[in-house]
A and B are shown apart, each in its own frame.
Chain A
Amino acid sequence: AQSVSQHNHHVILSEAASLELGCNYSYGGTVNLFWYVQYPGQHLQLLLKYFSGDPLVKGIKGFEAEFIKSKFSFNLRKPSVQWSDTAEYFCAVNAYSGNTPLVFGKGTRLSVIA
């Protein structure tokens, strides 16, 4: 079965700082990887996804993530955060076939201060 680890529980950054959130997964086969964001009081929104090809994936709102297969990692990055990026960020994984359910990491809460 798949599992996902997000090591940063709560990250606090000032506006314009750079962001990197860690995500490591465990699975014995090829995977799909996702980052979801949940703004306060709102539903989950897909930020970006990786299935195959270029390991550097660009998503919405200026976010990107890099898949490093040798490290089983899929870290999320943004060069310059804004106050509006304050949210909970979830990394998720399922099997490449799409036939296994999405499994989420515990989430990282990002607080951006002015």
Chain B
Amino acid sequence: DTEVTQTPKHLVMGMTNKKSLKCEQHMGHRAMYWYKQKAKKPPELMFVYSYEKLSINESVPSRFSPECPNSSLLNLHLHALQPEDSALYLCASSRRGINDGYTFGSGTRLTVV
């Protein structure tokens, strides 16, 4: 199993809603990442988890709240988002400290209305 699975694939939410994005991998990777990608732009790093601990938060607003319940799962909790938060949210994983490259999921396309 060499893939990263993200659910849902599409999400439309209102600015007062609370929703969660989920990411799962079973490759034994101990580093997991959230990236945000706007249309025709490169992915921008949001969070890094290393061995289930948050190691990097790239000054992301608190309306985005990551969680890593175990080594296979990564969640991104969303609350009170703004329309400008609409984007493709990508999850990735890698073997920590090993230069293998990242495996990316297909992403969740989020629309905030």
Residues on A lying within 8 angstroms of B by beta carbon are 32, 34, 36, 42-46, 49, 51, 88, 90, 94, 96-99, 101-107, 109
**Does B96 lie within 8 Å of A101, measured CB to CB?**
no
Enumerate chain A residues within 8 angstroms of B44, measured Cβ to Cβ: 104
Task: Name the one of A34, A97, A104, A106 contacting B97, with C-beta atoms under 8 angstroms.
Answer: A97
Q: What total of chain B residues lie within 8 Å of the partner, measured CB to CB? A: 25
Considering only CB atoms, which chain B residue lies closest to A4 in the complex?
Answer: B42
Selected interface stretch from B18-26, B67-75, B79-87, B102-110: B102-110
Query: Complex: how many Å from CA A36 to CA B101?
Result: 10
**Does A99 lie within 8 Å of B43, measured CB to CB?**
no
Query: Complex: how many Å from CA A109 to CA B40?
Result: 8
Query: Complex: how many Å from CA A103 to CA B92?
Result: 13
Can you show 6 pairs from A to B with CB atoms below 8 A apart? A43-B104, A44-B43, A98-B100, A101-B56, A102-B45, A104-B43
Task: Name the one of B96, B104, B105 contacting A99, with C-beta atoms under 8 angstroms.
Answer: B96
Q: Residue B60 at the A interface, CB < 8 A?
A: no
Q: Residue B59 at the A interface, CB < 8 A?
A: no
Asked, given contacts A43-B90, A90-B42, A109-B40, whether A98 binds B98 with beta carbons under 8 Å apart, the answer is yes
Query: Complex: how many Å from CA A6 to CA B99?
Result: 22
Enumerate chain A residues within 8 angstroms of B40, measured Cβ to Cβ: 88, 107, 109
Considering only CB atoms, which chain B residue lies closest to A104 in the complex?
Answer: B42
